[in-house]
Structures are given as C-alpha cells and as structure tokens.
A and B are shown apart, each in its own frame.
Chain A
C-alpha cells in the first residue's frame, strides 16, 4: 500500500506500449513528480501529450474525474483525457493515462511576470469555470496556484491536476492546507460550492503572499486582516472576505460582485483608493437617510394642506 513504489525513472527515448489499446508513446522528458504520481511529456499518435503514472487506485479515480470533466459542457478547466492503459514494463504492470499537454507558466509565475492587475481578471475566469463545474454536480477541491496554469495568449486559466475533484455532498479527500477552510477553522470539509469559493479567495491571497503563512488562534479574523493589509487586494477585498466567510452560495454570485468591484476600481483610480471600500459600505446608509428625509417632507406637506383645508372650511362656514 506504499505510494512511493512508483518512483522509478524512465529515460528519454523510452517507448511506452499500451496493453489494451496498443498505442505507443515516446518519452521526451520528465514534467513533474509529486505525491500522486509522475508525469512525462510524450509524443503520441496525436503529437505531444502528458502521460501520468501512479498507483492503480489513484489513476483510476483521476481518470473518472477527467471523464466527468469531458461531460461538463463549456468547462475548459481540466485537461482532456486521451487514453488510459497499462504498460507491461520491467517494473511490472504500470497503469497510466494520457492527457492533453497544457503549456504555460503557473498562475504564481504569471502574476510575478505580468503584475497584480491580472489577479482579479483570472479570478473571474476561475469562478466562471467553477460555476459550470458546480452546475454539473462536482466540486474542484484542491484549488491552488501550483495546479493552475495560464495558457495562451489569449490567456486562459487551466488546471493540470484534477485529483481533488469530488462529487457534491461527499467529503473532500485531497486538499492543500493553506487553501483548505477546515485548516483555517472556517467550516467543514464537505464538498459544496462554498468550499471551492473559499479556496479561490485563498488563491488570491497566496498570489500576494507567495511565501504563505500559518494560522494563529484567530481563525478567519487573521485572514481578513491579511487581505486588508495588501494594497493589491484593496478593490476586491470585500468580495474575498465574503467568500472566506462562506457568504456566497454560488460561484456566479461571487463573480458578479467581483466584476462590479473590478469595474469601480478602474473608474475611481484618481481619488484615494482607501476610501472606496468605506464609501461602498456607506452607500446604503446614505440612501436610507434620504428616504427618511423624503418621508418627513411628505408628512409636512400633508399637514400643511390639511391645515389650509381646515382654515378654508372654517372661513366658508363663517362667511
């Protein structure tokens, strides 16, 4: 039951033959090695592709998720599944699957290169993708910048690791502490839309705190303070905080509010940014006050007319 047994090395030029579908893949180079398996860049019948080895259980689980992704119309978040097979090698039978090779920098690298103004835009993309996924009854689970790749141009956010995707209502099995609301004591590990939205907000936080930080005893208050401390997050801070508090029931609700805050930021570039959040909060209060004033005015007018009418009646009667 040890997962480390798959840590073998396959050199460049090795040909991997599938036992069931008899496809051949020429290994180009190692792309990555992680806790869940090893991924190689290969040349297959349809050109470059990514081939993943892992233990039989996790390979099969991931394949199921990729198949489910394929059924979700309009979601481009995950890579498409090309083939699944077994390789009878000198190391014994190795199950593997082949997926689309997604090229580009990781989200963190992209933000480092292009600047923080991309955070909000890419977050919008992420939320749009999450919405389609949620509508299909799936929760992404393990959202983190290391798993997200910006392909393009035109720039599109893609995810290279879908291993954490879970059916709605079940328990999240795979996650990374920093992005997990259970770790921050902000809620359960049940697969529901608000779990993904919390993680999405943490992705934004991680982009401005690349070295991350560990929790103290304050729980969610600590995260709120961290969000407010960064100038880069000022415009979207209220949206992020609401997501951290689990106040959004759907990705589209969060996306709508994020869009509003991003638009208002570009308009109010000149005045001091710090006030924009305060002003937004006070908007409703001012409106209420106005409504009260209008009420008083109507009351005064009605009283005045009544008094005039009474005077009129009295004068009519007297004359």
Chain B
C-alpha cells in the first residue's frame, strides 16, 4: 500500500506582519494546494498585541491548520509541547477530514456510535503513524525574536526527534524571514533530520521587517521545487518512495 504524504507549513512568529502580501490570503493559497498552515505565536508577557494574535489565528484558520500562542516566560517549557501538539492535532485533523468525506459530507465521527468510532480511530492512528510527512518550518527572525531563537532551536530539534520515532518518513525544510537580501532565506533544504540546525542557528542575526505573507508564498514554491526535482531523480529518493 502506498502511503499518502501530509504537507505542512509550520510558522513560528511573535507578531504581525508589516511587509508584502496579506499572510492570511497566502495561507488560503497554500490550503488550496493541499498544504496546511500551522502557526505558533510567541508573544511577550506585557505587550499582548491584539492585532498580532488575531493575525495568528486567522492565518491558521484560512490555512486549514491550528494556532497556539505561548508566552515568552514559559517558552522553554511549552514551545516543544505546543509544537508537538500542533503536529499531532494536524495529523489527526487531516485524517479526520478524509474520513468525513468517506462517511458523509457534513457528519464526521460524532455521528457514529462510540464502538464504531473506536474502530475508525484505530485506522486514524495507523494512518498518522505511517503517513509520510513534509514540514516546511518558517521562522520569524525579526529583531524582537532574538531572545527567543535558542528556544526555537530546542523546540525544532525536539520536533525532529518526535517525528522520527514514527514509522512513516519525514522531510523537514527550514526557512527564515526576513532573509539577508530577499524576504525569505532557505537555511536548510529538505532533509529527514534537523540535527544540522544547531550550527545554523548560531550564525543568525535577527533584525528587519516581518514579511510573513511573502514568506508563506515562498514556502509554497519550495514544495513545488521539491516536486520537480523528484521528477528528475525519478525513484532515487528512497525515503519518499518508501511504502509499507
């Protein structure tokens, strides 16, 4: 049986965008192409920016993903947990969407009696475990994120550890925004493990605008680029072709 691939953009930011296209529209564009957008909002204790929070929720909503906000003070403890939860929930969400299509247009698992629900859930579990996962991580590196970057690094390493314990294969890619010259800069090309991230993060110099919208648009094209390259290699990518 050939396994499906779940495509996600994981956006880590601490506030509102101030440059380029509307990120909410770009998230909708991603969703149209089968890419889910999840947002982790890292906010400061005092400056609870209402507009920033709203944007975080809206990006996730129109991107078909989930959003979670976490306070800077608890960052070191909760970012990893939140990241994990977001991933798990998205996996479950995607599978549940598929089920809704199979069962009926509007009724999901809730319309089934509890026992049957349990059997369906086992299938959901199985799919979540074996599906291939592609996550493009977008990290906001504007000036205000500087103090939060070490925690972001830890959270991402942890994410890689969690995901790689699954049976399905994983591919991660990491981009930051703003980049040195462009709106977005790719730090790490598609790779099954994020271990090389440690050295990359130490070289970062946060600062500049927050072009969230353009970053998401660029992220979508990264998924496309990967596809076309796969065409060239045709079967050389064993971790993509892996089937159970």
Contact = CB atoms under 8 A, between A and B. Distances in A.
Given A61-B125, A171-B166, A189-B161, A93 B110 contact: yes
Interface string A274-285: 000000000000
A1 B125 CA distance: 17
B57 to A, nearest CB: 10
B35 to A, nearest CB: 16
A190 B165 contact: yes
Nearest to B129: A170
Interface string B94-130: 0010000000000011100111011011101100010
A86 B89 contact: no
Interface residues of A, number: 29
Interface residues of B, number: 32
B117 A60 contact: yes
Interface string B12-46: 00000000000000000000000000000000000
Contacts of A183: 158
Nearest to B163: A171
Contacts of B92: 57
Given A171-B162, A177-B77, A95 B118 contact: no
B66 interface: yes
A182 interface: yes
A213 interface: no
A177 B158 CA distance: 11
A1 B118 contact: no
Contacts of A3: 89
A95 B165 contact: no
A95 B92 CA distance: 17
A85 B113 CA distance: 8
A182 B108 CA distance: 35
A56 B93 contact: no
A171 B110 contact: no
Interface in A146-199: 169-173, 177, 182-183, 188-191
Contacts of A189: 161-162, 165
A171 B164 CA distance: 8
Interface string A47-60: 00000000011001
B167 interface: yes
Contacts of B96: 57
Interface of B: 66, 77, 80-81, 88-90, 92-93, 96, 108-110, 113-115, 117-118, 120-122, 124-125, 129, 158, 161-167
Given A171-B162, A173-B88, A189-B162, 9 more contacts: A1-B93, A3-B89, A20-B114, A60-B114, A86-B110, A170-B167, A171-B129, A182-B161, A188-B161
12 contacts: A1-B93, A20-B114, A56-B110, A57-B121, A57-B124, A61-B121, A86-B114, A171-B129, A171-B165, A171-B166, A172-B162, A189-B165
